[in-house]
C-alpha cells in the first residue's frame, strides 16, 4: 500500500476524532456501522509476509495494513484444510459442529447460520469474489448461493451495487498461493533462493528452495490484488470505515504442513485494520482462532453473536489500544481435523485434536494405526500419500527417502505417528521432537490432555464419546482423479 494512502487515512482519522471528540467515538462508531472486508488467501501460512519479518517475500499492502492496524502473532485456523476452515470462519463454530462440513469437498448443512446471511438481514449489502466457502457443493443443503455470498467478478462491480450510506460485507477469496504453481515463477520474478528460510521440517535443497520461491510469488500476487481493493476503498472514501481482515485459510502446501495439526498447518497471518475505531501500530500476542471472526463482525455491526458460536468476538481486544497480551484468558487455541482427501481404503478419516499454548503443542491422533498422510500404495487426487499436495518438494522427498540426509524428512511427513504428541516450544519451535511419555513432561501432558477432553465435551464433539465412522461415511463430492502435478 502506498504510504500516501496511510497518511491520508491518518489525517482523516485525526480530523474525525477532533470533530467528534474522544468521548463521542463509541457513539459515532455505533451510529455508522463498519463495512466488513475479509481478504482470505488460499494456503498462506505464518510467517510469510514482510510484516512478520520474512526477508524474501514482498507484501507492501499487508505491511501497510499492519502498520495502520493490528498484527496478531498467534492466530490459528480451526482446521488445516480449506472446506472445514472456511466453514468454521463463516459459522464461528468448531468444525466438529459442522457435521459433514468438517470434511474437505463436502457440504455445509443449510441449518448452520453463516455471518454474511446475518449481516444481510441486518441491512448489509453482501458480495463474494473468488473462492468462498469450499471446495464443496450446495446441492441438497437448501442454500441457493455460496455461503460466503453472491458472486461478483470484481470489487469494482460489487461496489457499484452498494447504495450510498449502506454498509457492505465483502469476501475476497484469492486462489493464491494454492498449488499448482508455475515452475520457477519465483526465480523469474527476481527473487533469490539463498535468503529463503527453509522450515526445519523440510530438507534444505535447491529444489525445496525454488519451490518455496514459487509459493512466495503467489503470496506477492495476492498482496497486489488486495492492494487494488484497498486503493479502491480509499478512492471511494470508505477506507476509514471499513473493518479489514487479512488471513490465510490454512498452512502452507508442503509436506508436514497443510492438513496437519502442527503449526505449519494451522498457524496463519492475521492482520486487522479499522482506522475509524481501532488504534493501529500494534502487535497482539493473544491466542485467537479464526472462529472468532464471525462474532467479531456481528458485534462490530451492532448484532449479537449467535449462542451456538464457539468463537469469541475480538472487538474488545481491537479497540483496547493495547499491545502484547491484552486478554489473559486468550492463552490457548484448539484445532482439529477430519477427512482431508480420499487417500485410504474406505475413505477413512485421519482424525486429530490439538491444544496449542505458548509453552506446548499437545496433539492427539485418534487413529494412530493409519498412515497420517494417506497410504503409500493408494493412488488418490494427489497421488500416493494423498493428504500432501503434489509438489516438487514432495516428489524429491519420496524419490530420495532412503538417503540418510532425507530419511528423517520422509518420516516426519509420511511416517506413522503415536496416539499422543507433545512439543516443548521453548526448545523445539519447529515441533520435531515428540516428548510425550518423558517423565519430566508427565504433568504438562496430563494437564493438556484433560483440557482438551474438557473442550471436546463442552463443545459437543462426537469424538468425546469415542470412535465414530460418521465422517468416513460422508460423501466426497470432488474428483477422485489424480490432480496435475507441478
199 and 273 share a domain?
A: yes
Q: Report the domain count for the chain.
A: 2
**Whole-angstrom Cα distance, residue 184 to residue 214?**
6
On whether both 23 and 166 belong to a single domain, the answer is yes
Asked whether residue 46 carries a pLDDT value surpassing 50, the answer given is yes
Task: Note whether 275 and 359 are same-domain residues.
Answer: no
Does 50 map to a domain? yes
How high is the pLDDT of residue 484? 60
Which tens digits make up the pLDDT trace of 188-211?
999 999 999 999 999 999 999 999
Residues 374 and 268 in one domain: no
pLDDT (0 to 100) of residue 26: 40
Residue 485 lies in a domain: no
Question: Is 480 contained in some domain?
Answer: no
Domain boundary among 306, 330, 354: 330
d(CA 120, CA 59): 32
Structural domain contains residue 479: no
The residue from 282, 307, 330 where one domain ends is 330
CATH number at residue 183: 3.40.720.10
Does the pTM surpass 0.85? The reply is yes
Which pLDDT band, with edges at 50, 70 and 90, does 482 fall under?
confident
Examine the pLDDT at 18 and tell me if it is beyond 90. Answer: no
359-376 in b/e form (b: 16+ CB < 10 A) is ebbbbbbbbeebbbbbbe
Q: Are residues 324 and 338 in the same domain?
A: no
Contacts of 233 (CB under 8 A, 6+ apart): 37, 239, 242
Q: Which of 330, 354, 386 is the last residue of a domain?
A: 330
- The predicted pLDDT at position 486 comes to 52
Q: Please compute the mean of the pLDDT values over residues 105-111 and round it to a whole number.
A: 98
Give the tens place of pLDDT for each residue, 217-245: 999 999 999 999 999 999 999 999 999 99
78 in a structural domain = yes
Look at the chain and count its residues: 486
DSSP 8-state class, residue 324: B
Q: Per-residue pLDDT for 306 more than 70?
A: yes
What's the pLDDT tens digit per position in 267-291?
999 999 999 999 999 999 999 999 9
Range of weakest confidence among 4-18, 28-42, 107-121, 328-342: 4-18
Q: What rounded mean pLDDT belongs to the chain?
A: 94
How far apart, in whole angstroms, are the C-alpha atoms of residue 114 and residue 134? 14
Same domain, 268 and 373: no
In a shared domain, residues 338 and 324: no
Judgement on whether residues 133 and 25 belong to the same structural domain of the protein: yes
Domain with 63, as residue range(s), is: 3-330
38 found inside a domain: yes
Residue 149 lies in a domain: yes
Asked, as a colleague might, if the bond just before 376 is cis with ω within 30 of 0, I would say: no
Containing 127, the helix (H) or strand (E) segment is: strand 125-130
Average pLDDT over residues 301-319: 98
Is the predicted pLDDT of residue 134 greater than 60, yes or no? yes
**pLDDT-above-90 percentage for the chain:** 91
Residue-wise pLDDT tens digits, 431-476:
999 999 999 999 999 999 999 999 999 999 999 999 999 999 999 9
Question: Is 10 a residue whose pLDDT tops 90?
Answer: no
Q: Are strands 270-273 and 282-289 parallel, antiparallel or unpaired?
A: unpaired
**Tens digits of per-residue pLDDT, 177-189?**
999 999 999 999 9
Judge if 343 and 215 occupy the same domain.
no
Residue 70's DSSP bridge partners are 272, 282
Q: Are residues 138 and 223 in the same domain?
A: yes
Whether the per-residue pLDDT at 27 is higher than 80: the answer is: no
Q: Do 359 and 274 fall within a single domain? A: no
Query: Within this chain, do residues 359 and 258 fall inside the same structural domain, yes or no?
Result: no
In a domain, 447, yes or no: yes
Amino acid at each position: 500500500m502506498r504510504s500516501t494512502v496511510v497518511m491520508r487515512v491518518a489525517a482523516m482519522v485525526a480530523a474525525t476524532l477532533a470533530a467528534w471528540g474522544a468521548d463521542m467515538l463509541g457513539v459515532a462508531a455505533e451510529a455508522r456501522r463498519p463495512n466488513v472486508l475479509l481478504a482470505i488467501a488460499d494456503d498462506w501460512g505464518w510467517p510469510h509476509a514482510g510484516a512478520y519479518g520474512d526477508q524474501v517475500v514482498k507484501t507492501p499492502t499487508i505491511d501497510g495494513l499492519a502498520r495502520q492496524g493490528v498484527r496478531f502473532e498467534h492466530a490459528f485456523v480451526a482446521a488445516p484444510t480449506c472446506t472445514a476452515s472456511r466453514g468454521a470462519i463463516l459459522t464461528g463454530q468448531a468444525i466438529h459442529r459442522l457435521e459433514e462440513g468438517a470434511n474437505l469437498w463436502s457440504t455445509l448443512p443449510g441449518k448452520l447460520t453463516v455471518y454474511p446471511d446475518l449481516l444481510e438481514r441486518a441491512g448489509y449489502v453482501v458480495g463474494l469474489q473468488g473462492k468462498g466457502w469450499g471446495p464443496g457443493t450446495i446441492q441438497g443443503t437448501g442454500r441457493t448461493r455460496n455461503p460466503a455470498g453472491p458472486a461478483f467478478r470484481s470489487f469494482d462491480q460489487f461496489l457499484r451495487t452498494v447504495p450510498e450510506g449502506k454498509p457492505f460485507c465483502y469476501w475476497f477469496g484469492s486462489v493464491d498461493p494454492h498449488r499448482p504453481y508455475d515452475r520457477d515463477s519465483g526465480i523469474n520474478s527476481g527473487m533469490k533462493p539463498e535468503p529463503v528460510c527453509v522450515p526445519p521440517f523440510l530438507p534444505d535443497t535447491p529444489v525445496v528452495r525454488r519451490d518455496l520461491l514459487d509459493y512466495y510469488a503467489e503470496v506477492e500476487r495476492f498482496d497486489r490484488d488486495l492492494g487494488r481493493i484497498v486503493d479502491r476503498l480509499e478512492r471511494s472514501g470508505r477506507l476509514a470505515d471499513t473493518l479489514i481482515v487479512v488471513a490465510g485459510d490454512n498452512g502452507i502446501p508442503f509436506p508436514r504442513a497443510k492438513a496437519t495439526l502442527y503449526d505449519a498447518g494451522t498457524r496463519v497471518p492475521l492482520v486487522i485494520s479499522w482506522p475509524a475505531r481501532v488504534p493501529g501500530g500494534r502487535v497482539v500476542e493473544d491466542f485467537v482462532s479464526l472462529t472468532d471472526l464471525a462474532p467479531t463482525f456481528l458485534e462490530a455491526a451492532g448484532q449479537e453473536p449467535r449462542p451456538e458460536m464457539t468463537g469469541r468476538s475480538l472487538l474488545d481486544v481491537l479497540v483496547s489500544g493495547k499491545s502484547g497480551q491484552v486478554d489473559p484468558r486468550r492463552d490457548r487455541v484448539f484445532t482439529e481435523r477430519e477427512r482431508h482427501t480420499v487417500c485410504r481404503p474406505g475413505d477413512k478419516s485421519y482424525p486429530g485434536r490439538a491444544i496449542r499454548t505458548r509453552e506446548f503443542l499437545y496433539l492427539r491422533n485418534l487413529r494412530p494405526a493409519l498412515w497420517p498422510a494417506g497410504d503409500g500404495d493408494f493412488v488418490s487426487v494427489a497421488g500416493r500419500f494423498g493428504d500432501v499436495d503434489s509438489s516438487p518438494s514432495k516428489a524429491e522427498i519420496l524419490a530420495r527417502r532412503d538417503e540418510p540426509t532425507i530419511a528423517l524428512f520422509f518420516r516426519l511427513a509420511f511416517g506413522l505417528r503415536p496416539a499422543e504428541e507433545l512439543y516443548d516450544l521453548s526448545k523445539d519451535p519447529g515441533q520435531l521432537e515428540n516428548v510425550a511419555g518423558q517423565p519430566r513432561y508427565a504433568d504438562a501432558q496430563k494437564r493438556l490432555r484433560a483440557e482438551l477432553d474438557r473442550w471436546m465435551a463442552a463443545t459437543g464433539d462426537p469424538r468425546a464419546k469415542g470412535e465414530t465412522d460418521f465422517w468416513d461415511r460422508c460423501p466426497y463430492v470432488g474428483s477422485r482423479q489424480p490432480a496435475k502435478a507441478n
